[in-house]
Chains A and B, each alone.
Chain A
Amino acid sequence: MKHLIILWIFLLIAFSMFSQTVITGKVIQEKDEPLPGANIYLQGTYDGISSNPKGEFKFKTNKTGSFILLANFIGYEQFSQKVDLKGDTIRLNIQLKEKFNQLNAVTINVGTFEAGDKKQAVTISPLDMMTTAGANGDVYGALQSLPGTTINGESGRLFVKGGDSEESQTYIDGSLVSVPYNSTAPNLSARGRFNPFMFKGTLFSTGGYSAEYGQALSSVLLLNTNDMPEEDQLDFSIMSIGLDASGTKKWKTGAVTGTVTYNNLGPYMSIAKQNYNWEKAPESLSGEISFRQKTSKTGLLKFYSNLDNRNSKLSQYDLVFGGKPINYELINKNQYMNASWNDQLSEKWGMNAAASYTYNTDNVSYDLAKVKKHIEGAYLKNTASVQFTDKVMLKFGGEVISKSYTQQVQLTNESHENSFANHNFSGYTEAQIYASSKFVTRIGGRVEYSDYLNILNASPRLSAAYKINSKSQFSAAYGWFYQNPVDNYLLYTNQLKPERADHYTFSFQSFANSRTIRVELYYKDYKDLVKLNGTEFYLPSSYDNSGSGYAKGLDFFWRDKKTIKNGDYWISYSYLDTKRDYRNFPEEATPTFASKHNFSMVYKHWLGGIRSMVSVNFRYSSPRVYNDPNSTVFNGEKMMPYRSLDLSWSFLYRQNIILYGAVTNVAGFKNEYGRSYSITPDDSGYYQSAAIQPSSNRFFVLGCFITLTRKGNANQLDKIE
């Protein structure tokens, strides 16, 4: 009996010893390098261990039977294997495969400046757009400190990589904006219609963009409005040029924001010397309403509407009649509405719908002539995306752009009315395929039909990116881009084809330690550009598509947020070589909007002691050309170079009160944008001229921003221009 018990005990001990299984081995990566810190354990148990610095592991378990052994590590695919625990030693060599993760994978960034992405190495963030001196709260102004753009002070619009301003399109939440700039008198700088504070992110593509975007020869600017606000809020701003009040009411699944803005440059112009004689300083009143509603856990519906009225009266000297002052009066009414909806319908399917409507009227009175221009535009787009696997995504959609344009000209004894209506129907598809986390290609195409021109076009788009290491990558893009001729020509003829530009772009980017360097080379081949032959612009037979041109250049960008403590600077430089034969050019020539060298340096510094952010921006553009009709050489004259040193200062007075001041061209550099000539020569056959100047050499603005919330901790820091 006693022996039996001893035997029992012995057996029990032996059994329990016998049943202890040892699991040991090594965890390695794809290149056979050891992987320390990996988690190796039996599923559903507390038995496991982390691999040591040599990748080795060893642990014991009292469990018996069939179990699943798991091994995992951040960024690697989980390893699992069935093991039979029988009390012996199990040896395992585990190889973990790197997980494919789009966030860490290479991205196609050729030609694009993206902002608003929280995690990736961004080149320019939304905050930058607000705090960059010289931008003066204008989206387009801020973009003009990036490479690829040329500053045209007499226009203010975007001129990208040797492209005219009409070649750039703006999209808000996926919808095309027909009239993105406000109306101005000739040779005066325009601003964007939209408050930059509305946007949470921007993507500025200077070439080679996705097949989703058409009707743009040079660039697209994609603006995405803010999603749901965080809380109820009231904002007020008082500036030397106007007032602004805005209120936000939020509920559980939605929010509404209303804004009223009144601007009047009168008081400012009465104390700051102006180069022009304003009979009535620019004045505007606008109202905005935006609405957000969650439609599901992932779905969001956005609506935005803006009503804007502005007017101004400028006295200009007529060059024909020996400097007699003539009033140029402008009254503009603009309404813009935009709606968008997007939802991730399932893990695979995403849907994006967008629609917009534009109503714009410019009433211009000049001497005895009256011109009324009226644009009505509607836009509709739907895009679906399918994520087949981690590595393959397909996007396809359709778009309708409708535009009608009427121009009425009333002269002393005659009047003309011209108009056209066009509908563009487009379809596009694009596949993005990752061969690995190092190599990605995007292949797409777009088909467009214009009913006014009765022409069908197809444009291929192709881009690829290759990541050399975790910091650096190459990208390349190629594509055909079509755009209908400018509105002023379509008024008189529909016997034209869309103009075309082929883009070839190659870029290198490296990002490490908060420093970014980027170099881009490009070549653009312009075809089928519209030519106006002779002076009879009202005859359809005066127009044809025989024009052509090219633009080539190099863009350089460097940003460093690291070297100087609390400081951040970027340098951008563009070299541009372009010529074209289009519009009324008698021969191939460099267009007036192109300058060979463009340079900008922005420096920002946070002064903690006085709670201030200061920003300095220096910009330089080499002389552009202009045409003197008295000379035999077309576009043979050179303007002065453009130089401007801008400063801005924001001071956080209280948590919810910000004081702001900015000066553009503080050094008072003299800037001139060529000369304008009288249409007809004087008695001696000479064309009289006058210099085109900015409205003032220096510009300053002072402001105060106040935010009221229930909690009282929000401010408009993200709103400083």
Chain B
Amino acid sequence: MKKIILSLAVVFVSLVSMAQKPEYMQAMGETLGGFSTCKNVEDFQALGNKFEMIANAEKGEWLPLYYHAQCYILMSFIEQGEAAKRDGYLDIAEKSITKLVEMVPGEAEVFVLQAFYLTGRLVVNPMERGQEYSGLIGQANGKAMAIDPTNPRAKMMKVQMDMGSAPYMGLDPKSFCPAAKELLASWDNFKPKSPIHPNWGKDQVEGIVKGCE
């Protein structure tokens, strides 16, 4: 009961603060629109810069930091160059994620993002980091699932992990296709708390489902 009141209070306060910050909502909305046009590292960096600027202006908000980290994680995936550069982008993302975990430790999205960030680390050097990081990714995503079992991004991360590790376990990655299809079908049941809350991932799941056929 106490928790419910507390979370209601949090929602209320954030709604009020949003209502009071039309400028913030507008800036976030515009910047989020930038995701659809990003193609390369430079684009994501410019977008990350904008989120950094907003985060700097709105020290109490976690969403600008969230998207800032997301931009840098995506940069590490797009970057084709040397490992040090990719790790450099992830170092930046890591800083924002550390702040986020302190700021909103009860937010499932933050732990999904952390799992996503750790996936970035793993991909840089799967041979050496595979063992350790796959465990860490599972832990971070597990936290997200525990906080909000309905979060579709956490479910997506789980499907991706299961499919990725299937060959190592003597399983067929396609055995996870029904789960992916079910996730896609129910994707829109999840309603983000506001238009600027995380709402990405449907494309990826569509991609997975396509790969199943």
Write the residues of chain A forming the contact surface with B, with a CB cutoff of 8 angstroms: 36-39, 41, 43-46, 48, 50, 53, 70, 74-75, 104, 118-119, 122, 125, 127, 230, 470, 512-514, 561, 568, 606, 608, 611, 652-655, 711, 713-714, 717-718
Chain A residues near B170: list those with CB within 8 A.
Answer: 611, 652-654
Most chain A CB within 10 A, of B83, B135, B139, B165, is at: B135
A-B contact pairs, 24 of them (CB 8 A): A37-B42, A37-B46, A38-B49, A41-B49, A44-B56, A45-B53, A46-B27, A46-B57, A48-B50, A74-B88, A74-B92, A118-B129, A127-B127, A611-B168, A611-B169, A611-B170, A652-B169, A652-B170, A654-B169, A655-B168, A711-B138, A713-B138, A714-B135, A717-B131
Supposing A74-B88, A655-B168 touch, asked if A46 and B23 sit within 8 A by C-beta, the answer is yes
B167 within 8 A of A: yes
Additional A-B contacts beyond A48-B49, A127-B127 (9; CB < 8 A): A36-B42, A44-B56, A46-B23, A50-B49, A470-B84, A514-B83, A561-B127, A652-B170, A718-B132
Within the complex, what minimum Cβ distance (angstroms) separates A704 from chain B? 16
Give the bracket for the number of chain B residues in contact with chain A.
Answer: 35 or more
Residue numbers of B with Cβ under 8 A of A are 23, 27, 42, 45-46, 49-50, 52-54, 56-57, 82-84, 87-89, 92, 127-129, 131-132, 134-136, 138-139, 142, 165, 167-170
Nearest B residue to A606, CB-CB:
B127
Minimum CB–CB distance from B94 to chain A (whole Å) comes to: 11
Q: Which residues of B sit under 8 angstroms from A230, Cβ to Cβ?
A: 135-136, 139
Closest B-chain residue to A609, C-beta based?
Answer: B167
Given the complex of chains A and B, what is the CA–CA distance between A470 and B167 in angstroms? 37
Q: Which residues on B sit within 8 Å (CB–CB) of A44?
A: 56-57
* A470 to B84 alpha-carbon distance, docked (Å): 10
B168 touches A125 (CB 8 A): no
CA distance A122 to B125 in the complex (A): 12
B residues less than 8 Å from A718 (CB atoms)? 131-132
- Residues of chain B within 8 A of A652, CB atoms compared: 168-170
Query: What chain A residues lie within 8 Å of B23 (beta carbons)?
Result: 46
Q: Contact: B53 with A48, CB < 8 Å? A: yes
- Complex-state Cα separation, A43 to B58, whole angstroms: 10
Q: How far is the CB of A603 from the nearest CB of chain B, in Å?
A: 14
CA distance A514 to B125 in the complex (A): 10
User: Hey, which chain A residues are within 8 Å of B84, CB to CB?
Assistant: 104, 119, 470
Q: For the complex, give the distance between the alpha carbons of A48 and B127 in Å.
A: 41
Q: Is the CB of A39 within 8 A of B53?
A: yes
Contact across chains for A608 and B56 when beta carbons are under 8 A apart = no
Nearest CB in chain B: distance from A292 CB, A: 17
Nearest to B134 among chain A residues (CB) is A713
Once A606-B127, A652-B169, A713-B138 are accepted as A-B contacts, the answer to whether A45 and B45 lie under 8 Å apart by CB is no
Q: Report the 6 A-B pairs with minimum CB-CB distance, sorted nearest first.
A: A39-B49, A50-B46, A41-B53, A655-B169, A46-B27, A37-B45
Whether B165 lies near A39 (C-beta < 8 A) is no
Question: How long is the Cα–Cα vector from A72 to B138 in the complex, in angstroms?
Answer: 34
Contact status of A513 and B82, CB under 8 A, knowing A36-B42, A119-B87, A127-B131: yes
* Residues of chain B within 8 A of A104, CB atoms compared: 84
> In the docked arrangement, what's the CA distance between A44 and B58, Å?
7
Q: Which residues of A contact B88 (CB under 8 A)?
A: 74-75
What is the distance, in angstroms, from A65's C-beta to the closest C-beta of chain B?
16
Q: B167 contacts which of A122, A127, A608, A713 (Cβ < 8 Å)?
A: A608
Roughly how many angstroms separate A38 CA and B49 CA in the complex, as a whole number? 8
In the complex, which residue of chain B has the Cβ closest to the Cβ of A608? B167
Cα–Cα distance between A46 and B28 once the two chains are bound (Å)? 10
Complex contact B168–A46 (CB within 8 A): no
Verify A46–B54 contact, CB threshold 8 A.
yes
**Contact check: which of A45, A74, A512, A655 meets B165 at CB < 8 Å?**
A655
Contacts of B49 in A (CB 8 A): 37-39, 41, 48, 50
- A39 near B135 with CB under 8 A, answer no
Which residues of B have CB within 8 Å of A714? Answer: 135
Smallest beta-carbon distance B169→chain A, Å? 4
Complex: A46 Cα to B131 Cα, angstroms? 42
Enumerate chain B residues within 8 angstroms of A50, measured Cβ to Cβ. Answer: 45-46, 49-50
* Nearest CB on A from B135, distance (A): 6
Chain B, Cβ-Cβ closest to A70:
B56
Alpha-carbon distance A608/B164, docked complex (angstroms): 12
Which B residues touch A39, using CB under 8 A? 49, 52-53
Q: Give the CA-CA distance A470 to B85 in the complex, in Å.
A: 11
| Closest chain A CB from B179 CB (angstroms) | 16
Contacts of B82 in A (CB 8 A): 512-513
Q: Are B128 and A125 in contact (CB under 8 A)?
A: yes
Query: How far is B138's CA from A44's CA once the two chains are assembled, in angstroms?
Result: 37
Known: A230-B135, A655-B169. A43 touches B56 (CB 8 A): yes
* Known contacts A37-B45, A44-B56, A46-B54: A127-B128 contact under CB 8 Å: yes
Tell me the bound Cα distance from A104 to B169 in angstroms: 37
Residues of A contacting B56 in the complex (Cβ-Cβ under 8 angstroms): 41, 43-44, 70
Cβ-closest chain A residue relative to B81? A513
Which residues on the A side are within 8 Å of B27 (C-beta)?
A: 46
B residues in contact with A43, CB < 8 Å: 56-57
How far does the alpha carbon of A44 sit from the alpha carbon of B24 in the complex, in Å?
11
Complex Cα distance, B169 from A652, in Å, reads 7
What are the residues of chain A within 8 A of B45 when measuring CB–CB?
Answer: 37, 50
* CB-based nearest A residue for B166: A655
Nearest-Cβ distance from residue A394 to partner chain B, whole angstroms: 26
Complex Cα distance A655/B127, Å? 16
Q: Residue of A at shortest CB range from B89?
A: A74
